[in-house]
Structure 1
Amino acid sequence: MKMSQNPQETALSKCPGCEEPLEPGDLFCGACGYDLSAVPEPPQDHPTIAMAVPAENGAAAAARTPAARPAAVRFDEPGGSGDFELAAPGAAPGVAPASTPSAEASAPAPDPRTPAAELPSTPPAGTKLCVACRAGRVDNDGYCENCGHAQPRERDHMEQELGSVAAVSDRGLRHHRNEDSFAVSTTALPDGSPAVVAIVCDGVSSASRPDEASAAAASAANEALLESLPRGTHPQQAMHEAIVAASESVNSLAEEPGQAMEHDPHRHRNAPACTLVGAVMAGGLLVVGWVGDSRVYWVPDDRTNPPARLTEDDSWAAQMVSAGLMNEAEAYADERAHAITGWLGADAYELEPHTASFKPDRSGLVVVCTDGLWNYAESAAEMAAAVPADAQLRPLHGAQVLVGHALDGGGHDNVTVALLPFAVPPQGAGSACGNT
Structure 2
Amino acid sequence: MPPLPESARAAQSAPPALCPNCADPLDADDRFCGSCGHDLAAPVPAPAPVPAAQAPPAAPPAPAAERPEEGPATDAFVLAPPKPAGAAQEAGGETLALGVALPGARLSDPREEPPAPEGPVCVACGLGGVDDDGYCEHCGHAQPRQRDHQEQELEGVAAVSDRGLRHHRNEDAFAVATASLPDGTPAVAAVVCDGVSTAYRPDDASAAASTAGRESLLASLERGTPAEDAMRAALMSAFEAVTALAAEEEPPGGVPHHNAPACTCVSAVVTGPVFTVGWIGDSRAYWIPDDRTLPASRLTEDDSWAARMVSAGLMSEAEAYADERAHAITGWLGADAIEVDPHVAAFQPEGPGVIVVCTDGLWNYAESAAEMAEAIPADARVRPLHSARTLLGVALDGGGHDNVTVAVLPFPAAVSRAGFPSA
State the TM-score, normalizing by the size of structure 2: 0.71
CA drift at 1:366 = 0.4
Q: Quote the residue 2:9 is aligned against.
A: none
CA drift at 1:54 = 5.9
1:351 maps onto 2:340 in alignment: yes
Alignment equivalent of 2:329, drawn from 331, 335, 340: 340
Which digits, 9 at most, give the CA deviation of each residue in 1:353-388, with x for residues without a partner? 111111111100100000111011111101101111
CA distance in 2, matches of 1:261, 1:217: 27
CA drift at 1:196 = 0.4
Alignment equivalent of 1:229, drawn from 221, 230, 237: 221
Secondary structure of 2:247's aligned partner: coil
Cα pair 2:117 2:127 within 8 Å, conserved? no
CA distance in 1, matches of 2:253, 2:291: 50
Cα pair 2:159 2:176 within 8 Å, conserved? yes
1:122 maps onto 2:150 in alignment: no
Residue-pair matches, total: 326
Alignment equivalent of 2:407, drawn from 418, 421, 431: 418
Cα pair 1:54 1:61 within 8 Å, conserved? no
Alignment equivalent of 2:272, drawn from 283, 288, 295: 283
Q: Quote the residue 1:408 is aligned against.
A: 397
Alignment equivalent of 2:363, drawn from 366, 370, 374: 374
1:398 maps onto 2:387 in alignment: yes
Q: Quote the residue 1:178 is aligned against.
A: 170
CA drift at 1:122 = 3.3
Alignment equivalent of 2:295, drawn from 296, 306, 310: 306
Q: Quote the residue 1:142 is aligned against.
A: 134
Alignment equivalent of 1:58, drawn from 83, 86, 94: 86
CA distance in 2, matches of 1:175, 1:419: 24
Cα pair 1:298 1:309 within 8 Å, conserved? yes
The one-letter amino acid paired with 1:316 is W
CA drift at 1:296 = 0.2
Identity between Structure 1 and Structure 2 (%): 66
Q: Quote the residue 1:326 is aligned against.
A: 315
Secondary structure of 1:151's aligned partner: coil
Unpaired stretches in structure 2, ≥5 consecutive residues:
1-13, 15-49, 56-80, 91-105, 415-423
Cα pair 1:362 1:424 within 8 Å, conserved? no
Q: Quote the residue 2:306 is aligned against.
A: 317
CA distance in 2, matches of 1:212, 1:256: 12
CA distance in 2, matches of 1:256, 1:293: 26
Alignment equivalent of 1:197, drawn from 180, 186, 189: 189
CA distance in 2, matches of 1:288, 1:343: 16
CA separation of 1:59/1:219 partners in 2, compared to 1, >3 Å: closer, same or farther? farther
The one-letter amino acid paired with 1:318 is A
CA drift at 1:119 = 6.0
CA drift at 1:214 = 0.4
Q: Which has the higher contact order (CA 8 A, sep 6+)?
A: 2
Secondary structure of 1:286's aligned partner: strand
Cα pair 1:360 1:424 within 8 Å, conserved? no
Alignment equivalent of 1:238, drawn from 227, 230, 236: 230
CA separation of 1:138/1:193 partners in 2, compared to 1, >3 Å: closer, same or farther? same
CA separation of 1:258/1:115 partners in 2, compared to 1, >3 Å: closer, same or farther? same
Secondary structure of 1:254's aligned partner: helix
CA distance in 1, matches of 2:247, 2:87: 63
Cα pair 1:277 1:296 within 8 Å, conserved? yes
Q: Quote the residue 2:201 is aligned against.
A: 209
Which digits, 9 at most, give the CA deviation of each residue in 1:199-237, with x for residues without a partner? 000000111110110000001001111211111111111
Structure exhibiting the larger radius of gyration computed from Cα positions: 2
Q: Quote the residue 1:86 is aligned against.
A: none
The one-letter amino acid paired with 1:129 is V
CA separation of 1:54/1:257 partners in 2, compared to 1, >3 Å: closer, same or farther? same
1:271 maps onto 2:266 in alignment: no
Which digits, 9 at most, give the CA deviation of each residue in 1:240-281, with x for residues without a partner? 10100000000000004899999xxx9432100000000000
CA distance in 2, matches of 1:59, 1:399: 68
CA distance in 2, matches of 1:113, 1:422: 70
CA distance in 2, matches of 1:60, 1:239: 77
CA distance in 2, matches of 1:239, 1:421: 19
Unpaired stretches in structure 1, ≥5 consecutive residues:
1-5, 7-46, 63-111, 426-436
Q: Quote the residue 1:383 is aligned against.
A: 372
Alignment equivalent of 1:166, drawn from 158, 165, 173: 158
- The more displaced of 403-412 and 251-260 is 251-260
CA separation of 1:290/1:60 partners in 2, compared to 1, >3 Å: closer, same or farther? farther
Secondary structure of 1:325's aligned partner: coil
CA distance in 2, matches of 1:158, 1:257: 28
CA separation of 1:60/1:157 partners in 2, compared to 1, >3 Å: closer, same or farther? farther
CA distance in 2, matches of 1:54, 1:197: 76
CA distance in 2, matches of 1:317, 1:129: 47
CA distance in 2, matches of 1:164, 1:296: 17
CA distance in 1, matches of 2:413, 2:389: 25
CA drift at 1:157 = 1.0
Secondary structure of 1:348's aligned partner: coil
